[in-house]
Structure 1
Amino acid sequence: MALIILGHPNYKNSFANRTVIEELQKWDLTIEIRNIHHLYPDYKIDIKAEQEALLKHQTIVFQYPFYWYNMPAILKLWFDEVFAYQFAYGSQGDKLKGKNFVPSFTVGSSEISYNVLGFQHFRVYEFCKNLEQTALFAQMNYIDPIYFHGTSLAAGYTETDIKNNAKEHARKLIKRLAELE
């Protein structure tokens, strides 16, 4: 059973992340989805509830849009508060040890823009080092991110293309979840 921590601050208007979640829900998967922006619109996270959800699952997927080379603020706050001392790290902080940490996100601009000669100057994986370190610090199994490019209407992508790519992303995520069971 997997836990999906959905960290999209404008989920109802999302083409990409909403399609990914809708596709996951169509499959016969045992998953729990926690839309943290919906649960905590005031950004007052129920730490105990979130930690209890983490404890019930072997695989935790973090689903979100790639914002400013990182995660949205609500998800960063969630990590800051939920991955607490003596829970996720510290002398007794081994509660997440051995669990799978799966980043799953959408990237607005093109793949070609994310390289040394592109206007982003770095590959997406280079922006994920903080995720990897967080997982390792919490003694979790870091699974390489699943993501796709071209999710921004402003960058010229169509709603149809975005949704089709999101469906393919969901299939990849489902395959990864099956491999981790």
Structure 2
Amino acid sequence: MKTLVIAAHPNMETSVINKRWIEELQQYPEKYTVHELYNVYPDGHIDVQQEQHLIESHDHLVLQFPFYWFSSPPLLKKWLDEVFTYGWAYGSEGDKLQQRKVALAVSAGIKEIDYTEGGKYRYTLAQLLSPFETTMLYCDADYRSFFAFYGAEHEPMASEVEQSTQGYLNFIDNL
């Protein structure tokens, strides 16, 4: 079972969490394909057929991104809008995501306590990510939830980064 990781970070070179996760995933090319949208499409012009073929050639799909203004970075949203087409991802003949295991990997700059009903932002990360879950359910994918790193903007310790990296690989391996 091979997993396609769609990584969407507009500033990967300055990232701590997403960059480290990708470095680790790339150590296992037999298990994971890392596809960095901002590297592949710096002009924002997405090759829809190529992207669909890439998804079809993998067993599982993970969308990895920093939680960006309480959503995804804009290129990932554009990718979803253009790649998940009627007749391919959904609709009477759209079955390419049907029962495909799909998950999210999210780095959140804010601390986990702020993503609670009593916290600063009044919503859990699961609630804020519900549009992604609903999209996958609409496409009849097997949505497997998300893996998150909280507090990325607070200069995490190296041990926290490494712990999250191992947790992330474990999460993907157990989809």
The TM tier, using the shorter chain, reads over 0.9
Amino acid at match of 2:74: A
2 CA distance for matches of 1:27 and 1:20? 12
Pairing of 1:121-136 with structure 2 (within 5 A)? 121-136=122-137
- TM superposition shift of 1:40: 0.6
SS in 2 for 1:170: helix
Equivalent residues of 1:112, 1:118 under 8 A apart: yes
Deviation string, structure 1 residues 39-94 (Cα, Å, up to 9, x no partner): 11111101011000000111101110001111110000000000011000011100
Please report the TM-score for the alignment, with normalisation by the length of structure 1: 0.91
- Name the structure 2 match of 1:67: 68
1 CA distance for matches of 2:30 and 2:143? 21
- Name the structure 1 match of 2:106: 105
SS in 2 for 1:33: strand
SS in 1 for 2:61: strand
- Name the structure 2 match of 1:87: 88
**Unpaired stretches in structure 2, ≥5 consecutive residues:** none
2:163 to 158, 165, 168: 168
- TM superposition shift of 1:28: 6.7
Equivalent residues of 1:148, 1:165 under 8 A apart: no
SS in 2 for 1:143: strand
Amino acid at match of 1:38: N
Equivalent residues of 1:146, 1:169 under 8 A apart: no
Amino acid at match of 1:177: I
SS in 2 for 1:48: helix
1 CA distance for matches of 2:145 and 2:30? 21
- Name the structure 2 match of 1:8: 9
CA RMSD of aligned residues (A): 1.4
- TM superposition shift of 1:166: 3.1
2 CA distance for matches of 1:102 and 1:166? 20
Please report the TM-score for the alignment, with normalisation by the length of structure 2: 0.94
